[in-house]
């Protein structure tokens, strides 16, 4: 079972709609990322949060540490928002030689916004 679960896997919306993508995780984490990947493009970080809520323009990310859940909201969606959105958590890990933080990724939500 993946430690990070995202829903929905695919989402189609009309331009202007309010969009919500959900992320649930099963392990204790130190922080959570929302990433964006455009078709054929690289991956960029949208948000990094460990509590509460963050807002950048039309994007809002929330996290509830007790419920192990985060949501990414897009207000007034636009076709240029079409992309894959990936939830990633940072978890403390220990190996035989090192202790530090490592990323674990959800499988992504593919969003298509239709004009």
Partner 1 sequence: NAGVTQTPKFQVLKTGQSMTLQCAQDMNHEYMSWYRQDPGMGLRLIHYSVGAGITDQGEVPNGYNVSRSTTEDFPLRLLSAAPSQTSVYFCASSYFGTLNTEAFFGQGTRLTVV
Side-chain half-sphere of 95: how many Cα atoms within 13 Å?
5
**CB nearer partner 1, residue 14 or residue 97:** 97
Shortest reach from residue 55's CB to partner 1, in Å: 17
Shortest reach from residue 42's CB to partner 1, in Å: 4
Beta bridge partners of 59: 56, 74
Is residue 35 within 8 Å of residue 44, measured between CB atoms? Answer: yes
**CB nearer partner 1, residue 102 or residue 112:** 102
Is residue 54 within 8 Å of residue 114, measured between CB atoms? Answer: no
Shortest reach from residue 18's CB to partner 1, in Å: 25
Torsion of CA 9, 71, 107, 14, to 10 degrees: 30
**CB nearer partner 1, residue 94 or residue 115:** 94
**CB nearer partner 1, residue 77 or residue 108:** 108
CA–CA distance from 65 to each of 57, 101, 113 (Å)? 24, 17, 30
Positions touching partner 1 (CB under 8 A) are 2, 4, 30-31, 33, 35, 41-45, 48, 50, 86, 88, 90, 95, 97-103, 105-108
């Amino acid at each position: 079972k993946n430690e990070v679960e995202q829903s929905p896997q695919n989402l189609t919306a009309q331009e202007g709609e309010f969009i919500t993508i959900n992320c649930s995780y099963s392990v204790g984490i130190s922080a959570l990322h929302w990433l964006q990947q455009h078709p054929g493009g690289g991956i960029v970080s949208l948000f990094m949060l460990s509590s509460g809520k963050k807002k950048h323009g039309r994007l809002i990310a929330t996290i509830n540490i007790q419920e192990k859940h985060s949501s990414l909201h897009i207000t007034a969606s636009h076709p240029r928002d079409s992309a894959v959105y990936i939830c990633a958590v940072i978890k403390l890990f220990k190996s035989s030689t090192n202790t530090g933080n490592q990323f674990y990724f959800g499988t992504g939500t593919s969003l298509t916004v239709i004009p």
